[in-house]
Amino acid sequence: MTNLDLTKPTAELAAQGTPLLEVDDLRVEFRTRSGVVKAVNGVSYSLGAGETLAILGESGSGKSVSAQAIMGILETPPAVISGGGIWFQGRNVLEMSAEDQRRIRGPGISMIFQDALSSLNPVYSVGFQIGEMFRAHRGMSRKAARAKAVELMDRVRIPAAARRVDDYPHQFSGGMRQRVMIAMAIALDPRILIADEPTTALDVTVQAQVMDLLKDLQQETGMGLILITHDLGVVNEVADDVAVMYAGEIVERGTVDDVFSRPSHPYTDGLMSSVPQVEAKGGRLRPIVGQPPNLADIPSGCPFHPRCSHRRLGAEAAPGRECSTDVPPLRLVVPGREAACHYSEEVLGVRAP
């Protein structure tokens, strides 16, 4: 039997100094016939109650895979968690029995996905699907679960919830479907909500509504929020901290204000200058050259070096800091900021101490 206490108030846990979630040196590989794809290569972060951590990265950077590992929904095989640990309220999830892991999903950690239409079951009404959480985890009757579903639909601001509870997913618009999925995710008052590209498929006016809803729900419940996205604007408007991922690694981490105003990793810097802004026409974009790496064949040394404008190769590199051979560790650059680059101080424009 599990000794996981999901009833203890989050504030109490925070007082004990235990973060809600700690991911330590997580590694995930996909062993396929054509080789080993290293999707996550040593990712560490922690999340406390009420905090919002954004994981920013492009497609193939390993941001979703790391979240799926936390949720325990990776398909194994082909995926293999080849190292590291995931601690939820001080217990390693990876060492738990399948039954204990299942108990955490829902009241402990829950997740919403990008594509609401393919994440919802088309042959059950939305009320049934939301109520399923209560029936499976709390043993409620169908009737009570349905009443709970209506309540939740109200909470995620679906108009006329009582009338729409028996409707099917295809009868809802994209934004409303996303709300249904959010309702399912928050049904059991999770400690942590992982939102994997929650607004990518939505129009910008709807995106704003959904992000507002998530923020309000977080304020009400004090849950920790992990926001996985590629959208710099969403990160800036919603998150406190940001971890930038590239080729399965975190390459920069800090508060959103710091990282976005003065990036210290060339990749973050490159991302910032590739994106046009709505507030000014701006000059020519400065894209990052080349293509993101193939995760089955990650470049040696710093994975970003083939595309980097700050790289130093061969004789021009400082000893032990040759970009194509020496792997840069994620290190503290200035207080509160970590970056995995040999020459972060240069990127930041700060003199090395």
Partner 1 sequence: MSEPREHGATAASSLSTSSPSTPGTPAPAGPARAGARGAMGESLLEVRGLQKHFPLTQGIVFKRTIGHVRAVDGVDLTLRRGETVGLVGESGCGKSTVSKLIVALERPTAGSILYKGKDVARMGGRALKAYRREVQIIFQDPYASLNPRMTVGDIVAEGWAVHDDVAPRKGRLKRTQELLDRVGLNPDYVNRYPHQFSGGQRQRIGIARALALQPEVIVCDEPVSALDVSVQAQVVNLLEDLQDEFGLSYLFIAHDLSVVRHISDRVAVMYLGSIVEEGTDEQVYASPSHPYTQALLSSVPLHEPHLRGQKDRILLQGDVPSPADPPSGCRFRTRCWKAQDVCAQEAPALVDRGQGHPSACHFAEARMVVPVDVE
Residue matched to tokens 């032990």: 320
131 binds partner 1, rule: CB under 8 A: no
The distance of closest approach from Cβ of residue 49 to partner 1 in the complex, given in angstroms and rounded to an integer, is: 23
85 binds partner 1, rule: CB under 8 A: no
The distance of closest approach from Cβ of residue 151 to partner 1 in the complex, given in angstroms and rounded to an integer, is: 22
Nearby residues of 49 by Cβ (< 8 Å), 6 or more positions away: 10, 11, 13, 14, 20, 191, 222, 223, 224
Site stretch for partner 1 (CB under 8 A), options 71-79, 109-117, 123-131, 277-285: 277-285
* Of positions 25, 166, 237, 240, contacts partner 1 by CB under 8 A: 237
Residue 242 contacts residue 56 (beta carbons within 8 Å): yes
The distance of closest approach from Cβ of residue 138 to partner 1 in the complex, given in angstroms and rounded to an integer, is: 33
DSSP state of 346: H
170 binds partner 1, rule: CB under 8 A: no
Q: Is the dihedral of CA 62, 67, 70, 73 positive or negative?
A: negative
Tokens of 33: 């016939």
* Of positions 101, 207, 218, 264, contacts partner 1 by CB under 8 A: 207
Site stretch for partner 1 (CB under 8 A), options 36-44, 148-156, 288-296, 329-337: 288-296
User: Can you tell me the distance from the alpha carbon of 271 to that of 326, in angstroms, rounded to the nearest whole number?
Assistant: 23
299 binds partner 1, rule: CB under 8 A: no
Site stretch for partner 1 (CB under 8 A), options 41-49, 95-103, 206-214, 323-331: 206-214
Which of residues 17 and 283 has its CB atom nearest to partner 1 in the complex? 283
Site stretch for partner 1 (CB under 8 A), options 26-34, 38-46, 167-175, 185-193: 167-175
261 binds partner 1, rule: CB under 8 A: yes
Instruction: Report CA dihedral (179, 169, 99, 141) to the nearest 10 degrees.
Output: 90
Which of residues 95 and 257 has its CB atom nearest to partner 1 in the complex? 257
Task: Tell me the sheet residues that pair with 110.
Answer: 193
Residue 191 contacts residue 89 (beta carbons within 8 Å): yes
279 binds partner 1, rule: CB under 8 A: yes
* Three-state SS letters, 200-222: CCCCHHHHHHHHHHHHHHHHHHC
Site stretch for partner 1 (CB under 8 A), options 45-53, 72-80, 205-213, 314-322: 205-213
The distance of closest approach from Cβ of residue 8 to partner 1 in the complex, given in angstroms and rounded to an integer, is: 34
Residue 160 contacts residue 150 (beta carbons within 8 Å): no
117 binds partner 1, rule: CB under 8 A: no
Tokens of 210: 């959904």
208 binds partner 1, rule: CB under 8 A: yes
The distance of closest approach from Cβ of residue 12 to partner 1 in the complex, given in angstroms and rounded to an integer, is: 32
Site stretch for partner 1 (CB under 8 A), options 33-41, 46-54, 254-262, 321-329: 254-262
271 binds partner 1, rule: CB under 8 A: yes
* Of positions 99, 205, 320, 353, contacts partner 1 by CB under 8 A: 205
Q: Is the dihedral of CA 188, 73, 113, 118 positive or negative?
A: negative
How many residues bind partner 1 (CB under 8 A)? The answer is 47
- Beta-carbon count within 10 A of 116 CB: 22
9 binds partner 1, rule: CB under 8 A: no
Task: Tell me the sheet residues that pair with 26.
Answer: 43
Give exposure, 250-281, as e/b (b: 16+ Cβ within 10 Å): bbbbbebebbbebbbbbbbbbbbeeeeeeeee
- Summarize as ranges the residues that interact with partner 1 (CB under 8 A): 58-59, 159, 173-176, 203-205, 207-209, 211-212, 230-234, 236-237, 256-257, 260-261, 270-272, 274-282, 284-292
